[in-house]
Chain A
Amino acid sequence: MLPPDSLLTLTPEGLFCRAAQAWIDPWRPVPRALITHAHADHARPGCGEYWAVGSSEGILRERLGSGIRLLPVDYGQLHRIGDARVSFHSAGHVLGSAQIRIEASGESWLVSGDYKRCADPSCAPFEPVQADVLISEATFGLPIYRWQSGAAVAAEIVRWWRSAPDRPSLLLCYAFGKAQRVLAELAGLGVEEEVLLHGSVQRLMEPYRQAGVAMPPTRPLAELPRGESLAGRLVIAPPGAMRGRGLRGLAQAQSAFVSGWMAVRGARRRRGTGRGFVLSDHADWPGLLQTVRDSRARQVYVTHGQSSVLARYLREVEGLSAAPLEGAFEAERFEGDGEPP
Chain B
Amino acid sequence: MNRFSALFSQLDGTTRTGAKLEALEHYFRSADPADAAWALALLLGKRRRRLITGRRLREICLQATGLPDWLFEACHSQVGDSAETVALLWQQARPSGLEAEPPQDAAANQASQVPLHQWMEQRLPRLAALQGEEQAAAVGVCWAALPADHLLLVNKLLTGGFRVGVSTGLVTRALARSADLEEALLAHRLMGGFEPSAEAFTTLLLPAEQGQELRTRPYPFFLASPLEPGQLEPTAPGSWQVEWKWDGIRGQLIHRKAGCSLWSRGEDLINDAFPELIALAAALPEATVLDGEVIIWRRGEPRPEPFASLQRRLGRKAPSAALQRECPACFIAYDLLEQGGEDLRELPLQQRRQRLETLHRQWLRSCGDGPLAGRLQLSGTEVLEHWSGLDDLRDQARSRSAEGLMLKALDSPYLVGRKRGFWWKHKLEPLRLDAVLLYAQAGSGRRANLYTDYSFGLWDGDPAGGGQLVTFAKAYSGLDDSEIRELDRWIRAHTTERFGPVRSVQPLQVFELAFEGLQRSRRHKCGIAVRFPRIARWRRDKPASEADSLASALALLEAQA
Contacts and interface: CB of A to CB of B under 8 A. Distances in A.
Interface of A: 117-118, 142-144, 146, 148-149, 152, 254, 256, 263-267, 269-270, 272-276, 285-287, 290, 306, 309, 312-313, 316-317, 331-332, 334, 337
Contacts of A312: 70
Contacts of B78: 142, 144, 264
A266 B448 contact: yes
Given A142-B75, A263-B88, A148 B101 contact: yes
A110 to B, nearest CB: 20
Contacts, number: 90
B346 interface: no
A144 B90 CA distance: 9
Nearest to A290: B98
Given A143-B71, A146-B92, A266 B101 contact: no
B104 to A, nearest CB: 12
Interface string B70-107: 11001100111100110011011100001101000000
Contacts of B99: 118, 148-149
Interface in B412-462: 444-450
A60 B84 CA distance: 40
A144 B446 contact: no
A144 B485 CA distance: 23
B19 A254 contact: yes
Interface residues of B, number: 39
A143 B89 contact: yes
Contacts of B79: 144, 264-266
Given A270-B447, A287-B98, A332-B492, A146 B75 contact: no
Contacts of A273: 15
Contacts of A254: 14, 16, 19
Nearest to B14: A274
Interface in B12-35: 12-16, 19
A126 B147 CA distance: 30
Contact of B446 (A270, A286, A290): A270
Contacts of B93: 143
Contacts of A337: 485
A263 B75 CA distance: 12
28 contacts: A117-B98, A118-B98, A142-B75, A143-B71, A143-B75, A143-B89, A144-B75, A144-B85, A144-B92, A146-B92, A256-B13, A264-B80, A264-B448, A265-B12, A266-B84, A269-B165, A270-B450, A272-B481, A274-B16, A275-B14, A276-B13, A285-B92, A286-B92, A287-B98, A290-B98, A313-B68, A317-B68, A337-B485
Nearest to A308: B74
B314 interface: no
Nearest to A269: B446
Contacts of B15: 272-274
Q: Which 10 A-B pairs have the closest CB atoms?
A: A144-B88, A269-B446, A266-B448, A275-B13, A274-B14, A143-B92, A270-B446, A309-B74, A266-B80, A274-B15
Interface of B: 12-16, 19, 67-68, 70-71, 74-75, 78-81, 84-85, 88-89, 91-93, 98-99, 101, 152, 165, 444-450, 481, 485, 489, 492
Given A142-B78, A269-B446, A274 B13 contact: yes
Nearest to B78: A142
A118 B97 CA distance: 12
Nearest to A140: B78
B84 A309 contact: no
B81 A266 contact: yes
Nearest to B97: A286
Given A144-B89, A274-B14, A332-B492, A265 B81 contact: yes
Given A142-B78, A264-B78, A270-B450, A309 B71 contact: yes
A278 B78 CA distance: 16
Contacts of B485: 334, 337
Q: Which of A149, A264, A306 has the most CB of B within 10 A?
A: A264
Nearest to A286: B98
A126 B450 CA distance: 33
Contact of A142 (B74, B447, B448): B74
Contacts of B14: 254, 274-275
A143 B16 contact: no
A70 B492 CA distance: 37
B21 to A, nearest CB: 15
A283 to B, nearest CB: 11
A142 B75 CA distance: 6
Given A143-B92, A144-B79, A316 B13 contact: no
A341 to B, nearest CB: 14
A119 to B, nearest CB: 9
A275 B447 CA distance: 17
Given A143-B92, A146-B92, A274-B15, A266 B98 contact: no
B244 to A, nearest CB: 38
Contact of A266 (B74, B75, B446): B446
B441 to A, nearest CB: 15
A273 B15 CA distance: 7
A117 to B, nearest CB: 7
Contacts of A264: 78-80, 84, 88, 448
B71 A266 contact: no
Contacts of A316: 68
A256 to B, nearest CB: 8
Nearest to A276: B13
Given A274-B16, A316-B68, A269 B445 contact: yes
A52 B431 CA distance: 60
B68 A146 contact: no
A266 B92 contact: no
A142 B15 CA distance: 28
Contact of B74 (A275, A286, A306): A306
Contacts of B98: 117-118, 286-287, 290
